[in-house]
Structure 1
Amino acid sequence: MQTLLHPYLDGELDLMTSLQVEEHLRTCASCDLAHQNYLALREGLRDSALYFSGPATLQASARSAARRADAVSRPTLPMTSWRRWSMAAVLVLAALLTWSLTRIRTSPSAERLLAQEVVSSHVRSLMAGHLADIASSSHHTVKPWFSGKLDYSPPVTDLEAQGFPLIGGRLDYLNGRPVAALVYRRQKHRINLFVWPAKSGEKAAKSETVAMESQGYHLMSWEAGGMTYWSISDLDRGELSRFVKLYQAQSQPAPGVSG
């Protein structure tokens, strides 16, 4: 956690990670002490008494020494203009290529970015105490509620007999559009299931359910029947996989699950 303190102080973390750091600082005396020390150091470095401006003669002497050193280091046979430009072009091209490759290696994939959105939406629903716009355990109540609010009808299934009772549903915003969020419960754990139409031009259905973990949550995603599905919970992976298979069996043919 202490490795996150510097980016936290500089405001470089996303909202959810910042909230996690703040929650940790309230319970960890060691990290809180380090945080306070960093704050004190930052404020101390802003003290103007720490800065010293050298005399103007020192600046002039440094410039003069630099000019003399530059004159001594110049090659005996000066480069022609075209050779200088060629070398400069090669260096610029190499720098751009290195930057591009680094960016490709470090940029998160579209699926990973979407997973971060899903995690953020899940956490917001739990923090705000607003899991459902329509609170009901009946799919006959929840499914019609979305009519007129979305341009599609999300499949809503009743899994209470299997141990995953429906809590309700709400409107959310993911992947650049309004989506349906179906909320289920497993004992004291909450499951958010986000549903929206797959984009035109994409495959009609994924052959597998993709499982991943992000920031302590398990996520599973798949496509079926022209719809995209993302489920998320703090349940262990086996329990969430069981929920997904039950939902798939009730709403459409179940694809296989892979990690």
Structure 2
Amino acid sequence: MDHQEVQELLPAYADQELGIVETLEIERHLESCADCQREYAAQRIVSARFKKDASYFEAPAHLTQRIMDALPQDEPGTRFWQRSWSFNWRNAGAALAAMLALAWSVGLYLNLPSDQDKLTDEVVASHVRSLQVDHLSDVVSTDQHTVKPWFNGKLNFSPPVVDLAAQGFPLTGGRLDYLGGRPVAALVYRHAQHPINLYVWPTTERDVAPQLQNRQGYHLVRWTWDGMNYWAVSDLAARDLEQFGGMVRSMVRQ
């Protein structure tokens, strides 16, 4: 069962209307598909809210009596209590099942990776991919006045490009990349034999001070300044990458 089929069957799965074979296939798919997990959790939450706020019709006494009289007769004195016991346990079982399903759905939704986590994974994946396919740069140059104009017409913004050769972090080029659903500028620097990808794209968010992260053996420093997001990633030592980020920030502010 492919992703599209699972998406179409999720409403029926949430309402427990599928057979055992389809149910097992969807459960296997949910184990590895974050998008479907999120969709299923959202559907369960909405369904539970509707059930909670739904209005119920109270049957009149004479209708209840007619239904009870139509049921098979038991031994005198036991019929009412046995049926009450049976109905109570059925209601309690249904309520417990609904509560467990809702708790599982909410827990699944809360454990999904955040947008920030997914973006961090994208940045690291882009960095690794640029090294594996030997495609660090679309424009190869150590001159900031060559790299910066290269982006003209390729992006709807002009990325700041600074020269840090004197500080031990020479510019080596730049390329176009794609992160978080939009094209970004990737500026490439080096320190000794360590390449550094500096991703830059515009944002409407407020300024954010540099933050250091570790992911999959790589260090990342990210910050926001003057309407731009900056993400630097490398296998450099953490303090060296933080030093690089500080130099970029000071040069951009000038």
Per-residue CA deviations over 1:183-240 (Å, capped at 9, x if unaligned) read 0000000000000111x4xx3311x211110000001111111011111000010000
1:150 matched to 2:155: yes
Q: Residue 141 of structure 1 corresponds to which residue in structure 2?
A: 146
How much does 1:142 deviate? 0.3
Q: Residue 215 of structure 1 corresponds to which residue in structure 2?
A: 216
Q: Residue 205 of structure 1 corresponds to which residue in structure 2?
A: 207
Which among 118, 121, 129 is matched to residue 126 of structure 2? 121
Q: Residue 68 of structure 1 corresponds to which residue in structure 2?
A: none
Amino acid at match of 2:248: Y
Q: Residue 225 of structure 2 corresponds to which residue in structure 1?
A: 224
Q: Higher Cα Rg: structure 1 or 2?
A: 2
Amino acid at match of 2:99: A
How much does 1:88 deviate? 4.0
Distance in 2 between residues matched to 1:13 and 1:86, nearest whole Å: 34
Q: Residue 180 of structure 2 corresponds to which residue in structure 1?
A: 175
Where do 1:237-252 residues align within 5 Å? 237-252=238-253
> What CA RMSD, in Å, does the superposition of the two structures yield over aligned residues?
2.5
Distance in 2 between residues matched to 1:238 and 1:196, nearest whole Å: 24
Distance in 1 between residues matched to 2:84 and 2:164, nearest whole Å: 78
What is the total number of aligned residue pairs between the two structures?
Answer: 179
TM-score by length of 2: 0.65
1:175–1:94 Cα change, 3 Å: same
Per-residue CA deviations over 1:4-35 (Å, capped at 9, x if unaligned) read xxxxxx99989xxxxxxxxxxxxxxxxxxxxx
1:99 matched to 2:104: yes
Which among 92, 115, 136 is matched to residue 87 of structure 1? 92
Distance in 2 between residues matched to 1:161 and 1:120, nearest whole Å: 30
Distance in 1 between residues matched to 2:84 and 2:229, nearest whole Å: 61
Q: What percent identity do the matched residue pairs reach?
A: 47
TM-score by length of 1: 0.64
Where does the alignment leave 5 or more consecutive residues of structure 2 unmatched? 1-27, 34-80
Where does the alignment leave 5 or more consecutive residues of structure 1 unmatched? 1-9, 15-75, 254-259
